[in-house]
Structure 1
Amino acid sequence: MHRRPLIAALMLAALGAAALPAQAQPAARAFPEKPIRLVIAFPAGGPTDITMRQLAENAGKVLGQPVIIENKPGAGGTLPAQQLQTVQPDGYTVAQIPLGVFRLGYTTKLNWDPIKDISYVLNVTGYAFGIVVPADSPFKNWADFVAYAKANPGKLTYGSTGTLTSPHLTTELVAQRAGIQLQHVPYKGSADLTLALMSGQLMAGADSTGWAPYVESGKMRVLNTWGDKRLARFPDAPTLKELGYDIVQNSPFGIGAPRGTPPEVVKKLHDAFKQAMDEPSYLAALAKYDMVPIYMGSADYTRFARETVDREKAVIDKLGLAKPQ
């Protein structure tokens, strides 16, 4: 008989707790409470790794937690984006999104969507690209390169940082317009590509300016660059536009989070990395590789991603690289 009043009292207490106003409930834990992992698409030691490590260090100071770099090279720079499909959308794993991610739907059978299944945080920079040859190469300029390729179809070897990356596709597009056939050799990153080029395994390399120190020390020669204007460090190297190809490629890249990451977490990540971009240490790291900040906020970066997916289809179709239907 004495149990009934006790049970009723407990029920009333439970109902009362449920009815407490939201502000009386325990506050949500603040993000971040632990280190954040930033997965990048290329190996340690290259331009991407070095510049992103500096950005991560700066962002960690803003966030109050370290941002730890994880290198995940291969598959044309698309493995970090694929990894986002398998982790919790809590902001503790974010990834570099190279331009190759926007080509995946046309070249690979996917069970996820590069637009719908990534929360785009911000774009941070892009690359300065060019084609280089060893200093002892018989190719003194781009005209020599083209002449040899025309006389020896498919025998001129060049390396890039992976199949379907911007260096690969842009070189193939240039070759198509020049009426030449080249033999492509993919590598996982700039370090491996440079080693192959310097050891005589390759005749040419298409890459971002990780090759700059080798050109400056007289070990390599740059035949062309891919920006809108000539690079200040290499004023004698013509752009693709000057050579008559009307191509500009700087391959912007940024940071993405898994789909479903809370908007307030995306904003906090955005704000921290944007502040990190403005630090002199990051600008100095970029300058070493002739890179510049290319900022896009979350909304603009998402729009850029959508537009790039549409634009890259034309390139894939033109080169005949679309996956079979």
Structure 2
Amino acid sequence: MGLASGALGSVCGAALAQAGDAKYPDRPIRILLGFPPGGSTDGPMRVLAANASKTLGQPIVIENKPGAAGVLPAQMLQSAKPDGYTIAVIPQGVFRLPYTTDINWNPAELAYIIGLTGYVFGIVVPASSPIKTMGEYIAYAKAHPGELTYSTPGALTTNHLTMEQISRVANVRLNHVPYKGTSESLQALLGGHVQSAAETSGWQPYVESGKLRLLAVWGEHRMPRFPNVPTLKESGINLAQSSPWGLAAPKGTPAAILSKLHSAFKQAMEEPNFKEVLKPYDMEPMYMSPDQYRRYATAAMSREKVILDLIQYKKNSG
């Protein structure tokens, strides 16, 4: 009798869960986003949320949770119910958390929903700099070991770790100067406090106005806005970085709910206004299915460990 009632309870529980999945969503959904309002993550995400809410029939509310290089939302998912009503934007920094922070969860085990887009990175110098190409940048670094300074929006950011990779591929020593965000980093460069900056496309207006010179971009392809600027690969450095980001839910979120979210956001990506909102940042859609995104997460974690091992980073040692 006990076994029968237990089995019956399991069946009833599964039936209730399926019924809950079927009516999902029946209230607003919140998206946790680890960056301030405005900018290259918040703007596109708000357009996508508005598009997807039409498909899902419920409001989608963006909650900005800035700090810690955008990884706070992934941390918050660990205490969120796996019911599809709390999801988060997952930046590249999430995949290095196991090696930089004491956590008891595995980023690869998040319930990945969809990959959306990625950032544009580049190396810029003042227009008055004698360095005019990436080749000259490397030559200067070789002639002045450890002296050529570059700013980033912080230590252990994708900007910083990619520059560490560049320095190793090119066999040079560079001097990293971290700041608290892109704005501070670029102002340091414009103010003459550093010789170069490794930044996302916040440098675009300064390059267009002639205040800064863009030496190379980090993507697989040249930027349409700056077609004469080569990629790192074209400059002889066999690296590419676009720092893809997308959405994930807490581990254990039902497959039916994930499927609904994926479908809604895939449709949202296909709306013309998504490409339009990406244009000012020179970003492009970078779709990944849940399975592709999960595989990407696993591979990214392996790559991040290799990079951190290269710079001999020790957790809790700074």
| TM-score calculated relative to the size of structure 2 | 0.85
TM (norm. structure 1) is 0.83
Q: Can you list the C-alpha shifts for 1:5-45, whole angstroms capped at 9, x where unaligned?
A: xxxxxxxxxxxxxxx9x999xx6483223332222233333
Question: Is structure 2 residue 231 aligned with structure 1 residue 239?
Answer: yes
Please give the root-mean-square deviation of Cα atoms over the aligned residues, in Å.
2.6
Shift of the alpha carbon at 1:282?
0.5
Query: SS state of the match for residue 173, structure 2?
Result: coil
1:305 aligns with 2:297: yes
Partner of 2:102: 109
Which of residues 257, 263, 270 is equivalent to 1:271?
263
Query: How many Å apart are 1:224 and its aligned residue?
Result: 0.6
- Once the two structures are overlaid, the 10-residue window that deviates more, 152-161 or 267-276, is 152-161
The aligned counterpart of 1:8 is none
Is the 8 Å Cα contact of residues 42 and 48 (structure 1) preserved in structure 2?
A: yes
Secondary structure of 1:91's partner? coil
Written as runs of structure 1 = structure 2, the 5 A alignment for 1:246-325 is 246-323=238-315
Separation in 2, partners of 1:202, 1:36 = 43
2:200 alignment counterpart: 208
Q: Does the CA contact (< 8 Å) of 1:89 and 1:261 recur in 2?
A: yes
Contact 1:153 1:182 in 2 (8 A): yes
CA distance in 2, matches of 1:276, 1:111: 33
Measured in 1, the distance between the counterparts of 2:67 and 2:108 equals: 21
| Per-residue CA distance 1:77-114 (angstroms, 9 max, x = gap) | 32221111122222222111112211222232221111
Which 5+ residue runs of structure 1 have no aligned equivalent? Answer: 1-19
Give the letter for the 2:123 counterpart: I
Shift in CA distance, 138/159, structure 1 to aligned 2, threshold 3 Å: same
Structure 2 unpaired stretches of 5+: 1-11
State the Cα deviation string for residues 28-63 of structure 1 (Å, max 9, x = none): 483223332222233333212222222222222222
Tell me: CA distance 1:70–1:192, structure 2 relative to 1, closer, same or farther (3 Å): farther
Q: Which residue of 1 aligns with 2:4?
A: none
Q: Percent identity?
A: 52
Q: Which residue of 2 aligns with 1:131?
A: 123
Tell me the equivalent position of 1:145: 137
Shift of 1:257: 0.8
CA change 1:215–1:163 in 2 (3 A) is same
Aligned amino acid, residue 242 of structure 1: E
Pair 1:76 & 2:30 matched:
no
**For residue 64 of structure 1, what is the aligned residue in structure 2?**
57
Q: Does the aligned pair in 1 maintain the 2:135–2:235 contact within 8 Å?
A: no
Larger radius of gyration: 1
- Aligned to 1:158, the other structure's residue is in SS state strand
Paired AA for residue 72 in structure 2: L
The match for 2:112 is 120
Contact 1:158 1:183 in 2 (8 A): yes
Give distance in 2, aligned partners of 1:107 and 1:208.
22
